[in-house]
Amino acid sequence: MSSPAWSVYEGDWGSFCDDADNVPPTLALKGCGLRQKCLLQRGAQGAVYLGEDADGNVFVVKRLFTQRSEFGVRGVSEGSLREATLLTYITERSKALGPEPLFGVIRLERIVEAPFQELCLILERCAFNLSRMVFYSRKRPYGAAALFPETPTRCPILSKMSVIQYLMRGILKILQFLHEECHIIHRDVKLGNLLVGEDGRVRLADFGSARFMHEAVEKMSDARSGEYTPISLRTTVIYQAPECLLGERSYTAAVDMWAAGVVFAELLLQQHLFHSCSELAMLSDIWKLLGTPSDDPSFSSGEGAVTYAVRTESTIARKFPERIVSAEGLDLLKRMLETNPKKRITDSEALRHPFLCGPAVESGMEEARRLWNKKVEACMQETVAQPAAMGMRSFYVDNVEFDEESGENDDDDGEIATLPTCLDCFPHIFSDVNSGYDI
pLDDT of the residue at 436: 29
Clarify whether residues 293 and 207 are in a common domain.
yes
Q: Which of 82-86, 170-174, 348-352, 382-386 has the lowest mean pLDDT?
A: 382-386
In a domain, 435, yes or no: no
Clarify whether residues 282 and 372 are in a common domain: yes
Q: Are residue 254 and residue 324 in the same domain, yes or no?
A: yes
| C-beta separation of 424 from 177 below 8 A | no
Q: Is residue 132 part of a domain?
A: yes
Residues 252, 213 contacting (CB under 8 angstroms): yes
CB burial class (10 A; 0-12, 13-18, 19+) of residue 160?
A: middle
On whether residue 61 sits in a domain, the answer given is yes
Same domain, 379 and 399: no
What is the model's pTM? 0.77
Cβ atoms of 2 and 17 within 8 Å: the answer is: yes
Whether 122 and 137 share a structural domain:
no
Q: What does the pLDDT average to over 206-227?
A: 64
Spatial separation of the C-alpha atoms in residues 358 and 262, rounded to whole Å: 23
- Identify which has the larger pLDDT, 1 or 439: 1
Q: How much is the pLDDT for 174?
A: 98
Q: Are 249 and 272 in the same domain?
A: yes
Residues 407 and 318 in one domain: no
Distance, C-alpha 267 to centroid of its chain: 16
CATH of the domain at 312: 1.10.510.10
Is 433 among the domain residues? Answer: no
Q: What pLDDT, on a 0 to 100 scale, did the predictor assign at position 396? A: 41
Minimal CA–CA distance to 287: which of 243, 339, 226, 356? 339
Query: Would you say residue 75 lies in a domain?
Result: yes
Percent of the chain with pLDDT over 70: 65
Indicate whether 276 belongs to any domain: yes
Specify whether 286 is located in the same domain as 304: yes
Judgement on whether residues 177 and 49 belong to the same structural domain of the protein: no
Cβ neighbours around 254 below 10 Å, total: 22
Least confident piece of the model among 18-32, 165-179, 248-262, 332-346 = 18-32
Contact 84, 150 (CB under 8 A): no
Per-residue confidence (pLDDT) for residue 298, from 0 to 100: 54
Looking at the fold, whether 320 and 275 belong to one and the same domain comes out as yes
Kindly state whether residue 137 falls inside one of the protein's structural domains.
Answer: yes
Q: Among 12-26, 123-137, 298-312, whose mean pLDDT is lowest?
A: 12-26
How many domains does the structure of the chain reveal?
2
351, 383, 415 — which closes off a domain? 383
The CATH number linked to 42 is 3.30.200.20
DSSP state letter for 235: S
Residues 214, 101 within the same domain:
no
Query: Of the listed 19, 55, 188, 285, which one is catalytic?
Result: 188
Kindly state the average pLDDT of the residues 159-188: 96
Range of the domain at 105: 7-126+395-425
Catalytic residue list contains 438 = no
Give yes or no: residues 173 and 321 share one domain.
yes
Q: Is residue 261 part of a domain?
A: yes
